Structure 1
């Protein structure tokens, strides 16, 4: 994802013995409506995610962004959520609200990485030092999953080691997702260093879905063509491809499409691929058409489009 202003950092993780399991989440269960939630405050006002359930939008997954693993020898806490430790008082209400949403059936995940580099380099080259930090963060906040947004070079062996450790420590129902640029799933440009085709062939059973970024020149949602290219590639099934889009033209780059155009594309996708995974929006706080006053409306409208297309 294109992060708006994110502390450069990286998270630390280590393998610890935990729950072992051989089964893993398979395809996304039904069509998902996924919302990234990075901006928790705007103009000093707290942005609650609870409006997504209060207004019965159909949201299925909220991804808190962005978690970073920082250099242990640096000036910052080892784990940061944006510019602060996740335990900072400013996040207390957020964690309570997200726990409430979990009780209402919404999955809460944390996004690791993004445009700020370092987290995945550390996981790749100093896994034993940094993985435990990620593991302990996930346990502390009772998360349902983690979204691995690798926008820096990482080895295939390194990302597979992270996936294997998460599966081992959190069991078969824990959601492991990735957020590649859309073209990385269709044989084109890629920000991650490793080959997603190979990753899916090796670890596809452990990957719940991909939050594919169809914007910023890596694809688009003005038509079905970018999504079609992924399906045509024949590696990742439509059931595990979430169509990602910007929710406002100011959210980090190019490729924004209006809600009306997006809904038309989504209806066409569902008609073509009845098992398509769903839609993802970056990011929540200013989502159109409601803007900062009613950002929940984006989720309600795309959910309606996915449902009407059935």
Structure 2
């Protein structure tokens, strides 16, 4: 259902990577705009990968122009016409894309060209930089500057750090310091799709989000990333608990950034039969004005699942705001979680 307030906070963002079922049938995202009480603001199609051949960019395992994606691109156009912004996710757990972009000028130009082309050809509204490999701060700044120069001031640039990286540069998959990046290029970054799962964050309580804001991050720029089912990664939070936490944060921060879900095709509570219900429930909880007639948030199907704001990051950092660590001096450092792999679209080599 199209909404006149799609761009308003809090955002409801959903990633879409598993595009076909095991039998090769297309998984439609049209219910996200046709079902009542759904106000998804952004869809991020995943994942674009830069490969050894500069001209061999792929969407998961196939070229973006492969016929298997005809329905996907057509539906995303419909979503855009309905007021939903569509971004492309670059990178993810399949490493290599950013290593190739983080080289000398000529190599950067060669590997950036197909990214530019797919954005133009598909009319994307933005790009999500999911950097899960070491990249230099200079390298990511060069990429952001180039994208902004090529696509103008209204083009959305987002990043997808793990939540721990916003608190401690050592707990980081990307290599560079996100606080330094925010100080240097925060004006060019729309928001952060922050991963509160897979051992890198905890969405079962509001504490970690509160700590991130207390450190100086503007709440409107921090979107809480969730796995939409335990099948998509560790750290799934049961609905009733999630409901309480998000209600509190939405009340506590008048410019709460919103939520993102990884990923669409099997989202609970509806699962593979009705994956849009995750977005429907989030709409009812966070954007009740866009969910007229849906009823009390999470009031049904709950048994189907287991179990002062800051707006200027650079000023806050310059004041040296510190985050209290209740375990400081009493225990060893929290171990860094082991690498993990996503397997989506039911084909080998496809990763977030």
Classify the TM-score, shorter chain: 0.7 to 0.9
* 1:51-95, Cα deviation, whole Å (9 max, x unpaired): 10001411000000000011118xxx6110001111111100010
Between 28-37 and 174-183, the greater mean CA deviation after superposition = 28-37
Counterpart position of 1:195: 177
**Deviation of residue 309 (structure 1)?**
10
Q: CA 1:263/1:309 → structure 2, altered by over 3 Å: closer, same or farther? A: farther
| Pair 1:281 & 2:261 matched | yes
Between 283-292 and 299-308, the greater mean CA deviation after superposition = 299-308
Matched position secondary structure for 2:230: coil
| Pair 1:61 & 2:39 matched | no
Counterpart position of 1:153: 134
From 149, 153, 161, the counterpart of 1:180: 161
| Pair 1:136 & 2:114 matched | no
**Deviation of residue 274 (structure 1)?**
1.2
From 3, 10, 22, the counterpart of 1:43: 22
Q: TM-score, normalised by structure 2?
A: 0.77
**Deviation of residue 255 (structure 1)?**
0.5
Q: Please say if residues 259 and 298 of structure 1, whose CA atoms lie closer than 8 Å, have aligned partners that are also in contact.
A: no
* 1:108-133, Cα deviation, whole Å (9 max, x unpaired): 00000000000000111131211111
How far apart, in 1, do the equivalents of 2:142 and 2:8 lie? 25
How far apart, in 2, do the equivalents of 1:259 and 1:118 lie? 36
Between 276-285 and 258-267, the greater mean CA deviation after superposition = 258-267
* 1:204-231, Cα deviation, whole Å (9 max, x unpaired): 0000000000011111111101111210
**Deviation of residue 43 (structure 1)?**
2.3
From 96, 99, 110, the counterpart of 1:118: 96
Counterpart position of 2:57: 79
How far apart, in 1, do the equivalents of 2:251 and 2:271 lie? 29
Counterpart position of 2:326: none
Q: TM-score, normalised by structure 1?
A: 0.87
1:236-247 correspondence to structure 2 within 5 Å: 236-247=217-228
Q: Please say if residues 242 and 280 of structure 1, whose CA atoms lie closer than 8 Å, have aligned partners that are also in contact.
A: yes
The alignment of Structure 1 onto Structure 2 pairs a total of residues equal to 278
How far apart, in 2, do the equivalents of 1:60 and 1:244 lie? 14
Counterpart position of 2:73: 95
Q: Structure 2: 5+ residue runs without aligned partners?
A: 1-6, 291-352
User: Which consecutive segments of 4 or more residues in structure 1 shift more than 3 A?
Assistant: none
How far apart, in 1, do the equivalents of 2:244 and 2:67 lie? 42
Matched position secondary structure for 1:42: coil
**Deviation of residue 162 (structure 1)?**
0.4
